Amino acid sequence: MTTHKVLVTGGSGFVGSHVILQLLAAGHDVRTTVRSLAREPQVRATLERAGADTRRLSFVAADLERDEGWAEAVAGCDYVQHVASPFPQSQPADEQELIRPAVDGTLRVLRAARDAGVKRVVLTSSFAAIGYGHGQRHSDYTEADWTDVNGPAVQPYMKSKTLAERAAWDFIAAEGNGLELAVVNPVGIFGPALNDDLSTSIWLVKSMIEGRMPGLPDLWFGVVDVRDVASLQIETMTHAGAAGERFLAVAGKAVSIPEMADILRADLGDAAGNITRRRIPSWLVRILALFNPMAREAAPRLGIRANASNVKARKLLDWQPRGNAEAILATAHSLIALGLVETRA
């Protein structure tokens, strides 16, 4: 097998860490960016606990909001996995706090990659750039769809991912100078947590197991395992037919929060004792939205089953993702193994 030098931006993050794990396991030399080199020992320790040999891993300090460090980061690299992007626990008051670093950071990475002679950049975008602003629809979303940033209830995070990906494609068309781009658009990412730096999706499972969710609203979302996102990113990196393409990363049909609770309860036994069975009617969520920010974010999406198709990745790249239940339960088991949830004895 041919090995390559690969830059992974955002190596301390959930997806970035799993991409690094799989690249190292495949024999590639990996460089990763962190905002401060003070994070290097922690990131190495996390990866080594997960079984990685980190001798072929190096670090560079680079920030999406600054030019410094990016030329050094991409120097000598064959490919770039651009994973880093802001993902807030709550929506900012000024949407530009999310949009500006997402767009400008993506363009910084692309310019540096082009100037360094990188062959291809794989951009981790999101279903947020595909499936919002359309209201209720009955057909599955595909890679041909784009979020309408001016549509109803499109939040700053969704705008940031959409505008960053649009900017990336525009850059390649106008200034790419032969640089190839491929994009992966994951839905809600679950799977094994590696440390206590938890993504929003992982926090959802943690909150349910600990009984911190007082009721189960009628919210639906796609699911994909982080290990399958990483494998799709890596396959997209070198596959000849992947250049210039987008790929939805989704395991199957959307699941609801009540269905997720059922999946956890059926598998975890006593550890699921704090998971509520109470369902919150949508009318109550809409009332709570008048004064509760979290309910306000959720209200426009109540009852909307945004299904997405993985046919393209399956057919072109022979991608075989794990199912919804396996991804959700892997999240739960990793949280319990790491001692990051309080469960009933």
Q: Could you confirm whether 119 is annotated as catalytic?
A: no
Provide the 3-class DSSP secondary structure of residue 6: strand
Angle (deg, nearest 10), helices 96-116 and 156-175 = 30
Instruction: List, as one string, the DSSP characters of 234-295.
Output: HHHHH-GGGTT-EEEE--SS-EEHHHHHHHHHHHHGGGGTT---PBPPHHHHHHHTTT-HHH
* Spatial distance between the Cα atoms of 141 and 129, rounded to a whole number of angstroms: 11
Contact 222, 250 (CB under 8 A): yes
Contacts of 222 (CB under 8 A, 6+ apart): 127, 187, 188, 250, 251, 254, 255, 306, 307, 308
Q: Which among 65, 67, 78 has a CA at the least distance from the CA of 31? A: 78
Which one of 5, 119, 159, 161 is the catalytic residue?
161
- Token pair of 50 as six digits: 């997960």
Conformational region of residue 38, where left means phi above 0, alpha means psi within -120 to 50, and beta covers everything else: alpha
Residues recognised as catalytic? 161
